[in-house]
Amino acid sequence: MVSFSSLASFCLALASHVSATILQNGQVKETNYPDTSIDPAAQSFKTYPANATEISYKGRWDSKYVSWWSAPGISFGYTGQTVAISFGNLTDNGVLVGYRIGGLDWMFTNITSGATHLLVSPDAPGSNETAPINPTTFELRVTNWAYGVQIEAVHVAEGEKLIKIPDFGRRIEVIGDSLAAGMYTTYEGLSSWAYGLGAGLGNTEYTVTAYPGICAADQDCWGNPRGQAHQWFYTSDTSYRASVIHGDNPEPWDFENHPAADIVVINIGTNDNNEANNVTTEAYIDGLTKIIQGVHSKWPKAQVVVCSLWLGFHQSGNSFSPEWTDGWVNEIYDLVQWFNSKDYLKNPTIWDGVTNTTSTTGKKSDPFVHYFNTTGILQHNDIGPQWHPTDVGAIKVASHLQQFIRIKFGWDLYATGPEIFHDTLYWNDEQSY
């Protein structure tokens, strides 16, 4: 019953140019974002190189300061009213980024490869405000997973400076596929439930290691050469861009020099479950097992939340039914139970996707794997025609996960106002009609 052609369409997206006409609810979406590029030679800036300690990199960035996976970003504090960024030539030309001052609304602009963009000026909304967030912070996020930016330098006005903003004290990572990456939502990664979860918790560092079409099992799925049981251990994703920039030598993620996540949410398997990819149940469960064992190996204290899978709905008589009910529901639940068994916990097996090695920790572990039941969260109109959550669907998944995490792990919700999801202000101007 599932239309494979729609699921396969991400392959086309990989090949297409960054600039394309987008239909949103059947209407042409306006993408005439302001052109922020400037001639850097005509300015007098104080300039910081990409490796300046004042610049915090969020999500996965490689040694050349190139961004990977979904919704990676940078942030820093600054003085004055000017922020410009020079982007390196490994930037995808035309890539859309969201950026903002403090917790104000996201603004958007297309980045030109090798150009300098003026993103904050005295006329930028909020530019004259110094409270409540002080020092004033600047944040930028890449919206699309397949495209990226390369940071070359950050500039402020002459006589002004960048200020290092310490990381928040808690950290979450989402491991997934297109569902977590934000495919088909309004601002892609910046409208994804994974981003919404991390940003919506507030005062939380978040990384979204999700890529459309990728499987848990380490095999080719929809053109992604490797599965997450392998790729999660690497800085770069499975994009064509990664094959161009890193070839056969991707950089393993430097787990030693990046802090551990406290909570890892895993939502992966719809691509494994698609018969076009020929993944057996055994291979899928083996892949998911390795991802969990990989997380436990790199981050022994992390709590892991495994989501049950969902797809979409079809009309069934006078209502709607799930398109698909065989999403390895029992197998995933059984795997979570197995991870919680005394037998496993007395000497956990761990996995390293770079060296391909399975070993044991040699010490007892407390239970760390939890089951998040997604059944009943999404209804038929929360899934768009291309089998992915709509913006509303993404917000529902993020909201339920936030409450699950609050109740289960005692994480308070710290965000008390900043914009999380952009362009979701649906409202009416009439009080009776």
Ligand X SMILES: *[C@@H]1O[C@H](CO)[C@@H](O)[C@H](O)[C@H]1NC(C)=O
Footprint on this chain of ligand X (rule: CB under 6 A): 18-20, 22, 31, 33, 49, 51, 53, 88-89, 94, 96, 110, 122-123, 125, 127-128, 278, 333, 355-356, 373, 375-376
**In the complex, minimum distance from the CB of residue 100 to ligand X, in angstroms, rounded to a whole number:** 13
- Closer Cβ to ligand X, 120 or 172, answer by number: 120
Q: How far is the CB of 183 from ligand X (least distance, A)?
A: 13
Closer to ligand X by CB, 125 or 259: give it: 125
Nearer to ligand X, 33 or 409 (CB): 33
Greatest Cα pair distance, the chain, in angstroms, is: 69
CB atoms < 10 A from the CB of 380, how many? 15
The pair of three-digit structure tokens given for residue 25, joined into one six-digit string: 């609810």
CB of 70 to ligand X, least distance (A): 14
71 vs 154: CA distance, rounded Å? 19
Beta bridge partners of 320: 315
**Which whole-number Å values give the CA distances from 387 to 213, 307, 381, 382, in the listed order?**
12, 17, 10, 10
How far apart, in whole angstroms, are the C-alpha atoms of residue 209 and residue 215? 13
Rounded to a whole number of angstroms, the minimum distance from the CB of residue 121 to ligand X is 9
Q: In angstroms, give the least distance from the CB of 115 to ligand X.
A: 12
**Cβ-based nearer residue to ligand X, 109 or 204:** 109
Give whichever of 39 and 123 is closer to ligand X, judged by the CB atom: 123
Which is nearer to ligand X, 202 or 327 (by Cβ)?
A: 327
The 3-class secondary structure across 255-305, one letter per residue, is HHHCCCCCEEEEECCCCCCCHHHCCCHHHHHHHHHHHHHHHHHHCCCCEEE
| C-alpha triplet 423, 427, 433: angle, nearest 5° | 155
* Beta-strand pair 313-316/319-322: antiparallel
d(CA 331, CA 39): 57
Instruction: Determine how many CB atoms are found less than 10 A away from the CB of residue 32.
Output: 6
Cβ proximity to ligand X, 329 vs 347, nearer residue: 329
Nearest-approach distance from CB 315 to ligand X, in angstroms:
21
CB neighbourhood size of 386 (10 A): 15
Alpha carbon distance 272, 213 (integer Å): 9
The least distance separating ligand X from the CB of residue 98, rounded to whole angstroms, comes to 11
* Residue with Cβ nearer ligand X (6 or 331): 331
Q: How far is the CB of 292 from ligand X (least distance, A)?
A: 17
